[in-house]
Structure 1
Amino acid sequence: MTEQEAQDWLRANFDVSRETWERLEQFLALLAEEMQHQNLISKSSADHVWDRHVVDSAQLLLHAPKDGSDKIWMDLGTGAGFPGIITAILGDYKVQMVESRARRIAFLESVVTKLGLTEKALVFGDRLENVESHPVDVISARAFAPLQKLLSLSHRFSTENTVWLLPKGKNAVRELKGLSPKRQKMFHVEQSLTDPEAGILVGIG
């Protein structure tokens, strides 16, 4: 997927107003500026940011409940803002971003303020273990921890209706097979739109 194809895909699959598009572009400008001070995304992917990061994040919304109003989306290890910031810009969820690294916390908080997302996005600047338990509707994690550890750390935020959206790259099937049979039944694998060899674990419960 080229950068132009990635932008075309976003416009075709989401109701992208001029204000929303300007927010996306402003976020990427802030990201590029901050990359001069800390390594937020790999330099090899910086020239393909719409494909490798924006669309890669936005596609998760296709597997989430359609009406996100008043629903909570928790993103674990948000890092540079993928998928947390993208979800807050494109979706109508209340997004909670968990990030423990101080410089990335500062970046995310700055982005939330500068993009006017304070009503939709909140940064938990701490380790997940220190975040108080509360039920959420969606849990995402793009590069947080191996699957077994991820589930062990975050299950206390889930209910029987919580949707899990876990991009796992080429290791999706292998990591899924490492779970107990009961937990395996929670998930199925969806192919990533941005990488034909990558999978997204989608689960409920």
Structure 2
Amino acid sequence: MNASREARLADYAALIRKWNPAINLVSPASLDQLEKRHIADSAQLARLRPDPQGRWLDIGSGGGLPGLVVAIYHPNLPVMLVDSDRRKVAFLQTAIRQLGLENCTATAARVEQLPAADASNLSARALAPLDRLMPYLERHLAQDGTAWLMKGRNWQTELSAARMSWHFDVESHPSSTDPEAAILQISNIRHG
């Protein structure tokens, strides 16, 4: 990891710790595991997609996990963070400014009201069950785009439920921070 990236990740962790008591960006119980759990979890996307092209959309960004971490790893990639909580977006905008992330923006909006993004990559972490995410993926991904969804221990059940109404290609990647979790790489989404 280069020094600039490492410094930005450390500064980002410090910002989360500073703001977390006021806005609850991550669970207070997991704050002492911020780097090893939350940031390392998000950094997995950079390893899975080492040279992303186009635009990256992170929905339900919350405290910036994983979208802000993706922006730090890929400083030339346009990354758009979206969250409906204006306080969290205020945090994200502050973090973007203080970390000098010129490639990143944060918008306060509900994802279902956002104009179609035509994103090459879309990420979400702990936002909603997969079947509820599928309409957002269909709306916001470019035709040849890929979704990167960080799912917990029920990911296989969520996958089965989504397949009842949706057709899509999926590849599951084991999580390096939780052996029962997975990152779902989804493309070619079709309803019905």
1:100 maps to a residue whose letter is S
Provide the secondary structure at the position in 2 that maps to 1:133.
coil
1:110 counterpart = 2:110: no
CA contact (8 A) 2:168 2:187 kept: no
Which structure 1 segments of 5+ residues have no match?
Answer: 1-15
Separation in structure 2 between the aligned mates of residue 33 and residue 151 of structure 1, nearest angstrom: 34
- Structure 2, unmatched stretches of 5+, are none
Equivalent position SS for 1:190 = strand
Q: Distance in 2 between matches of 1:113 and 1:185?
A: 37
**Conservation of the 8 A alpha-carbon contact between 1:23 and 1:115:** yes
Distance 1:115 1:123 in 2: 13
2:18 match: secondary structure? helix
What TM-score do you get using the length of structure 2 for normalisation?
Answer: 0.91
When structure 1 is superposed on structure 2, of 172-181 and 39-48 the one drifting more is 172-181
Query: Contact 2:61–2:82 (CA<8 Å) still a contact in 1?
Result: yes
Identity of aligned residues (%): 33
Quote the Cα distance in structure 1 between the aligned partners of 2:17 and 2:162. 38
Larger strand percent: 2
1:139 aligned partner: 122
Match of 1:18? Answer: 3
Matches within 5 A, 1:84-163: 84-91=67-74, 92-117=76-101, 119-163=102-146
Superposed displacement of residue 184, structure 1: 5.2
Q: Number of matched residues?
A: 187
The answer to whether 1:46 aligns with 2:31 is yes
Query: Paired residue for 2:153, among 137, 149, 170?
Result: 170
Rounded Cα–Cα distance in structure 1 between residues aligned with 2:144 and 2:29: 38
Residues 172, 189 of structure 1: 8 Å contact kept: no
Distance (whole Å) between structure 1 residues aligned to residue 5 and residue 106 of structure 2: 20
1:8-36 deviation per Cα after TM superposition (whole angstroms, max 9, x unaligned): xxxxxxxx222221111111111111013
| Aligned equivalents of 1:112, 1:79: Cα separation in 2 | 13
Aligned-partner Cα distance in 2 for 1:30–1:185: 37
Kept in 2: contact 1:63–1:165 (CA 8 A): no
SS at match of 2:171: strand
**Residue 63 of structure 1: how far off its partner (Å):** 2.4
TM-score after normalising by structure 1: 0.85
**Alpha-carbon shift at residue 130 of structure 1 (Å):** 1.9
Picking from 2, 5, 15, the partner of 1:30 is: 15
Q: Which one-letter code corresponds to 1:139 in the other structure? A: L
Which whole-Å CA distance do the structure 1 matches of 2:90 and 2:16 have between them? Answer: 12
Query: Runs ≥4 in structure 1, deviation > 6 angstroms?
Result: none
The amino acid of 1:95's aligned partner reads V
